[in-house]
Amino acid sequence: MAVTTVYKEPAPIVDRENPLESMMSRFNIAAEILGLDESTYNVLKAPDKQVIVNIPVTMDNGQIRVFEGYRVVHNTILGPSKGGIRYDMHVHLDEVKALAAWMTWKCAVVDIPYGGAKGGIICDPTKMSAGEIERMTRGYTLALKDVFGPDRDIPAPDMGTGPREMAWLMDEFSKTTGATSPAVVTGKPLVMGGSLGRVEATGRGVMVSAIAAMKKLGMDPTKSSAAVQGFGNVGSWAAKLLCEKGVKIKGVSDISGAYWNEEGINIDEAIAYKNAHNGRLEGYTGATSMDPDELLTSAVDVLVPAAVEDVITEHNAERIQAKLIVEGANGPTSASADDIINRKGIMVVPDILANSGGVTVSYFEWVQNRLGYKWSEGMVIERAARIMNDAFEKVYATSQKYKVPMRIAAYIVAIDKVAQTYKFRGGY
């Protein structure tokens, strides 16, 4: 008889700060500056919906494991909720709540008609077979079939997931509901309604916002250097596209370690190496290995954290040498580091602006699916860049107007849009 085990360890990393607290502390500052009324504040401070599901999966050895999964819908006043799904051992409910709220703010900052949501499953996909991941993804979809929907809640990839998982989700949802439903999920493979440009969209948006910020700071990309933490979808594309703009990428890292080349890393070569080595840079010889903690404080002009939350903290912020931080990851800077970074005069392009290129092209994918029509890659790139540059200028102008850092300015832009929509829609 198959043995059933509940797969829910190791415990979340305890020395990381709580991302939900970091999100709330910035929200509180922006809400106070805006003079947000108490009822809207109370509506926005907690998610609309939090769903926890148990997903039994038959593993390849015949054992049944039960995985714990989450979907949090933070808010839907601007439209159906949107946000990725994360497969990682450190997923926990507070993290998913923070990530869902960041999606509400992100969609509002770039002015696309979505609310915010996020999902995750506690699992280590690097230790599971494709079949096990498929069965888990289908189980998660089935458990959440009443939450997901093209007009309700639209998932997408995040850490540990990509087009393959989105295809399984779309297939399972379509079979369950009896109607082919490409618009229920974005980030799908191209052949089944994925959008050209979605895979690289988040990294491209990081590049677009980095270039916009460098212009404001009078920095010449061709005379600037950068370090990129995380070499997955977002980090590797950001590194490649910044490199194409002439930025010298001196350091990169992933979960296997950090790698440095004073003359600049050959990013195409590093990506090819990673693709040939199970998605990891381990053993890469085009750079020398360095202490991963030192990457964040290395002598570069631009720092791109593109991995996990809370890596820039009160413990290392003082030592950061970069003039510009462009947040590819969600929540890489904990609130405890904000004052130090601001005092040092470092410009931060915050996550809800810098990594919004992904959800922007996801929106394009959803629009194309609903129209049953495909856009050219050029159109996707041009429209996404326009949206991001407009959002950057709006946030920059808001930071000047209120004399606040770019992060608080981005929250002000987002909360203001959501609050104004509540005023028109009413309903509470």
Ligand X SMILES: O=C(O)CCC(=O)C(=O)O
- Residue 337 CA to residue 104 CA, distance in Å, equals 23
- CB under 6 A: which stretch of 139-147, 214-222, 233-241, 419-427 binds ligand NAI? 233-241
Q: How far is the CB of 2 from ligand X (least distance, A)?
A: 34
Q: Does 253 bind ligand NAI (CB under 6 A)?
A: yes
Q: Is 118 a catalytic residue?
A: yes
Between the alpha carbon of residue 37 and those of residues 40, 44, 95, 155, the distances in Å are 6, 11, 26, 31
Q: Which two tokens stand for residue 334?
A: 């904990």
Pick from 95, 172, 254, 310: which binds ligand NAI (CB under 6 A)? 254
Q: How far is the CB of 408 from ligand X (least distance, A)?
A: 20
Q: How far is the CB of 16 from ligand NAI (least distance, A)?
A: 10
Of residues 364 and 422, the one with the C-beta less far from ligand NAI: 364
Pick from 157, 197, 251, 405: which binds ligand NAI (CB under 6 A)? 157
Between the alpha carbon of residue 153 and those of residues 18, 140, 179, 334, the distances in Å are 25, 14, 16, 28
The 3-state secondary structure of the chain reads: CCCEEEECCCCCCCCCCCHHHHHHHHHHHHHHHHCCCHHHHHHHHCCCEEEEEEEEEECCCCCEEEEEEEEEEEECCCCCEEEEEEEECCCCHHHHHHHHHHHHHHHHHCCCCCEEEEEEEECCHHHCCHHHHHHHHHHHHHHCCCCCECCCEEEEECCCCCHHHHHHHHHHHHHHHCCCCHHHCCCCCHHHCCCCCHHHHHHHHHHHHHHHHHHHHCCCHHHCEEEEECCCHHHHHHHHHHHHCCCEEEEEEECCEEEECCCCCCHHHHHHHHHHCCCCCCCCCCCEEECHHHHCCCCCCEEEECCCCCCECCCCHHHCCCCEEECCCCCCECHHHHHHHHHCCCEEECHHHHCCHHHHHHHHHHHHHHHCCCCCHHHHHHHHHHHHHHHHHHHHHHHHHHCCCHHHHHHHHHHHHHHHHHHHHCCC
Binding at 159: pick from ligand X, ligand NAI, none (beta carbon under 5-8 Å per type): ligand NAI
Q: How far is the CB of 72 from ligand X (least distance, A)?
A: 12
Binding at 104: pick from ligand X, ligand NAI, none (beta carbon under 5-8 Å per type): none
Which residue is at the shortest CB distance from ligand NAI? 232
Of residues 40 and 274, the one with the C-beta less far from ligand NAI: 274
Mask for 323-362, x = binds ligand NAI (CB under 6 A): -----xxx------------------------x--x----
Asked if 366 contacts 342 with a C-beta cutoff of 8 angstroms, the reply is no
Binding site residues, ligand X, CB under 6 A: 82-84, 106, 156, 158, 186-187, 330, 355, 358-359, 362
Binding at 186: pick from ligand X, ligand NAI, none (beta carbon under 5-8 Å per type): ligand X
Binding at 360: pick from ligand X, ligand NAI, none (beta carbon under 5-8 Å per type): none
Binding at 368: pick from ligand X, ligand NAI, none (beta carbon under 5-8 Å per type): none
Q: How far is the CB of 202 from ligand NAI (least distance, A)?
A: 4
Binding at 83: pick from ligand X, ligand NAI, none (beta carbon under 5-8 Å per type): ligand X
Number of residues that bind ligand NAI (CB under 6 A): 24
Q: How far is the CB of 89 from ligand X (least distance, A)?
A: 18
Q: Does 231 bind ligand NAI (CB under 6 A)?
A: yes
Q: How far is the CB of 124 from ligand NAI (least distance, A)?
A: 12
The number of CA neighbours under 13 Å toward the Cβ of 293 is: 5
Q: Does 19 bind ligand NAI (CB under 6 A)?
A: no
Of residues 77 and 99, the one with the C-beta less far from ligand X: 99
Binding at 232: pick from ligand X, ligand NAI, none (beta carbon under 5-8 Å per type): ligand NAI
Choice among 82, 97, 106, 118 that is catalytic: 118
The catalytic residues are 118
Residues that bind ligand NAI (CB under 6 A): 157-160, 202, 229-235, 253-255, 292, 306-308, 328-330, 355, 358
